[in-house]
Amino acid sequence: MNQVTIQWDAVIALYILFSWCHGGITNINCSGHIWVEPATIFKMGMNISIYCQAAIKNCQPRKLHFYKNGIKERFQITRINKTTARLWYKNFLEPHASMYCTAECPKHFQETLICGKDISSGYPPDIPDEVTCVIYEYSGNMTCTWNAGKLTYIDTKYVVHVKSLETEEEQQYLTSSYINISTDSLQGGKKYLVWVQAANALGMEESKQLQIHLDDIVIPSAAVISRAETINATVPKTIIYWDSQTTIEKVSCEMRYKATTNQTWNVKEFDTNFTYVQQSEFYLEPNIKAPYF
Ligand SMILES: *[C@@H]1O[C@H](CO)[C@@H](O)[C@H](O)[C@H]1NC(C)=O
Ligand SMILES: *[C@@H]1O[C@H](CO)[C@@H](O)[C@H](O)[C@H]1NC(C)=O
Ligand SMILES: *[C@@H]1O[C@H](CO)[C@@H](O)[C@H](O)[C@H]1NC(C)=O
Ligand SMILES: *[C@@H]1O[C@H](CO)[C@@H](O)[C@H](O)[C@H]1NC(C)=O
Ligand SMILES: *[C@@H]1O[C@H](CO)[C@@H](O)[C@H](O)[C@H]1NC(C)=O
Ligand SMILES: *[C@@H]1O[C@H](CO)[C@@H](O)[C@H](O)[C@H]1NC(C)=O
Ligand SMILES: *[C@@H]1O[C@H](CO)[C@@H](O)[C@H](O)[C@H]1NC(C)=O
Ligand SMILES: *[C@@H]1O[C@H](CO)[C@@H](O)[C@H](O)[C@H]1NC(C)=O
């Protein structure tokens, strides 16, 4: 009998694997009904009940069995009536599980599959905060990001709302993480309100509104170091030459350098006029690694 049970487990596992490949456990032909209270997607840590009701021709089930991820459950099963049993879980913490149930029918050698269901647990989304939109120079995109907060474990979608302050026209973009919005589609002037709505099966939250001006959010492209030379003198002097890739004037630039013997980066900030090839002079201590912008 034990051997048969093991075989059956293998068969049902393969069967379920096969069903998943073809569109989920819900696609299997059910001889009955399985349902979850309070819901198939629920808040992590809840107590849940899974009900299984058999509707098998010519079968008054002797016993009903529950399986979670292919493993037979042995505790917390209550037979409610002739056709239905309930499995109870306290403080359910798994983000995903596949449940199915079977019946032992008289005169049947094997258990008969009743039905299966995928269940999920997670959290409602946090309020999205730190909404930030930038345009990397020459990218043609406005990239908006935000802090989504804690992991929800379940499918969570974000709707980015972009509303022109001039035309009042509002556009919405659906995404699962950040969003790139083509700058060509921002035809409603320079000023916009941006906010993010987060939603999943357990709840919905909305961020505060961010006001942006397209000219203020451009991130200039990085400068390219073309050459560095060190001049021998009483005090060693290093000259860094760079080419600016940006067309924006009056940007502030910072340079970082460090000694190979010291983990700390030294940062030097300066305002520049990028119309011409730049150079700048540094008096560095010995053992300085190539600087970075
Ligand atoms: C489910 O039932 C339908 C119709 O009775 C049948 O065509 C199909 O092959 C069955 N699928 C499985 C996986 O048994
Ligand atoms: C789950 O059930 C236990 C025992 O019955 C109870 O103490 C606990 O409060 C319940 N938890 C929730 C979240 O309902
Ligand atoms: C058995 O219990 C289930 C769940 O409470 C109910 O839906 C079903 O109608 C009951 N069946 C019978 C035959 O009483
Ligand atoms: C702009 O965004 C689009 C859509 O996300 C992407 O296909 C494209 O590569 C981005 N452009 C650049 C320059 O990164
Ligand atoms: C979005 O745009 C940024 C910058 O233009 C680019 O690096 C990134 O690959 C883009 N992402 C997608 C998904 O297109
Ligand atoms: C700098 O001086 C050192 C020692 O006097 C010498 O070895 C080195 O070649 C000089 N470097 C240059 C670029 O002149
Ligand atoms: C490393 O550099 C920092 C900043 O210049 C300096 O304050 C610190 O004393 C240096 N540490 C060592 C071990 O030289
Ligand atoms: C940038 O520098 C050039 C040459 O020194 C000068 O002609 C130009 O007016 C400067 N531009 C600005 C915005 O300061």
Q: Write out pLDDT tens, residues 7-56.
A: 444 445 555 554 444 444 555 678 999 999 999 999 999 999 999 999 99
Residue bearing the CA closest to ligand 2, atom 9: 47
Tokens 């309020």 locate to 127
CA distances from 202 to 123, 208, 217 (A): 7, 20, 34
The ligand that comes nearest to the alpha carbon of residue 92 is 2
The residue ranking higher by pLDDT, 293 or 16, is 16
134 in Cβ contact with 143 (< 8 Å):
yes
pTM for the complete prediction?
A: 0.65
**What integer pLDDT is reported at residue 4 of this predicted model?**
34
Ligand 5 centre to CA of 210 (Å) is 21
Contacts of 244 (CB under 8 A, 6+ apart): 223, 272, 274, 278
Pocket test for ligand 1, best of 12, 19, 21, 29 (most atoms within 8 A of CB): 29
Ligand 3 centre to CA of 81 (Å) is 6
Q: Is the pLDDT of residue 59 over 70?
A: yes
Residue bearing the CA closest to ligand 7, atom 13: 262
Ligand 6 centre to CA of 265 (Å) is 26
Phi/psi at 60 (5° precision): -105, 100
Check if 264 has its Cβ closer than 6 Å to any atom of ligand 7: yes
Query: Mean pLDDT, to the nearest integer, of 161-166?
Result: 95
Residue bearing the CA closest to ligand 1, atom 8: 29
